[in-house]
Structure 1
Amino acid sequence: MKDRTLPASSMSRDRESILAAMGYRDYEHYLSRALRKKIKYRVLERDGHTCLRCNGQADRVHHRSYSEAVLKGTDDEQLASLCEGCHHVVEFDEEGSWRSHCEEEAVLSAKCARSDYPEIKINLRQNRMRLPEAWDRMNWWQRMGYRTAYKLAHQTRKPSGYGAIMMEYWLTVLDVIQHRTAVTHWRRDLPDLEAYLLARGMRLHRRDERPSRRRDGAGVTRFSLKGGKAS
């Protein structure tokens, strides 16, 4: 887990003193409480769950300020929705050191249109995808491209039922990712899997859903494909 302790500065001291006055032990305690979760949900909804930096799917809310109004939830304008990878890049430089506030603002305002990802390596003896070393700094599109290319490569080497249909879908996803620009939007431009299958007379059947312990923080939902028209 990323260390959320800010480097010694007036900003970090102000944040901790404000949180103490609000009744929180520290920043981690604040993040776990209902107020912060309510603020996070509200900001993600405001931004359409879209990363300000890469237009991918956002699941983080970045503090541009730790003022009392922001921490209490009365000034959402100083909060920005980001994907996990962009959040890491905004806060940390390539050496892993905290950026200054000015550096953060500069990185935050610069759109990221990258969609490249490391070479895929498959180990058929392992069912779990191994994350590349660069994972922490990969934006949502790079991560999606890596995941999709991994599934495609794994299916090619170890075919399973309905593989041809899923391979066609993954190739479509990869085509969007590889040709994306700074304005490509995850919700508007990527094909929806369920709609894609329904158009081909297939439907998704949810088998189970449980939280994941993967580093990317994404939940694991297992689906099986059913033939025939969906009712």
Structure 2
Amino acid sequence: MRLAELSERSGLPAATIKYYLREQLLSPGRRITATQAEYGDDHLRRLRLVRALIQVGKMPVATARQVLAAVEDESLDQNARLGAAVWALPQGQKPVEDDPATAVARREVELLMRRLDWKECLDAGEEAPAWGTLVVAVSALVRLGYPCDADDLAPYARAAAQLAVTDLDLVEGFHTPLEQVEAAVALTVLYEPVLLSLRRLAEAEESNRRFGTGD
């Protein structure tokens, strides 16, 4: 397909596609004349991923380039590739050092991981970006005095474990290793707001069941 058709099928302006080409977020098309190139379904799929990262995930272009590099790293096995790609996604703040609440949060998070027997996470520790993000979140709960020890966190972790099964079932539905890694990244970005929204809707239903007057 030519650039105009790629633009139409992807829903992105031609100028945006040219920008992604310049920023090396999209590989060049096959040159057919001095001024024209031809693009394929791989370009269309990549544009959907780039759009998910930048427009939905609000990711800076430089970070998106790093994520895409991890996606394409064929030197890694599939598990490492999936991990590298998802770990490259933007995370929250890093834990505050020399802070009593952070120390408590670190202890409870590690205890939680040991109770769950999440060996991969324990091996990585705070090198896993999500571990540090979790410590920051739990430390905020500690400071405000809300329940957040390993027992309190366990139901959330078990729900997350089941969601992980659902996530990987979706990823395995894609045929090639590259498509699977791209899907893992895109679905992580796209489904996080879905999960947040569903949780709030579910809370509204449960609140009405417990506290509603029936009016």
TM-score (normalised: structure 1): 0.31
Q: Which has the higher contact order (CA 8 A, sep 6+)?
A: 2
Select the structure that is richer in strand: 1
TM-score (normalised: structure 2): 0.32
Larger radius of gyration: 2
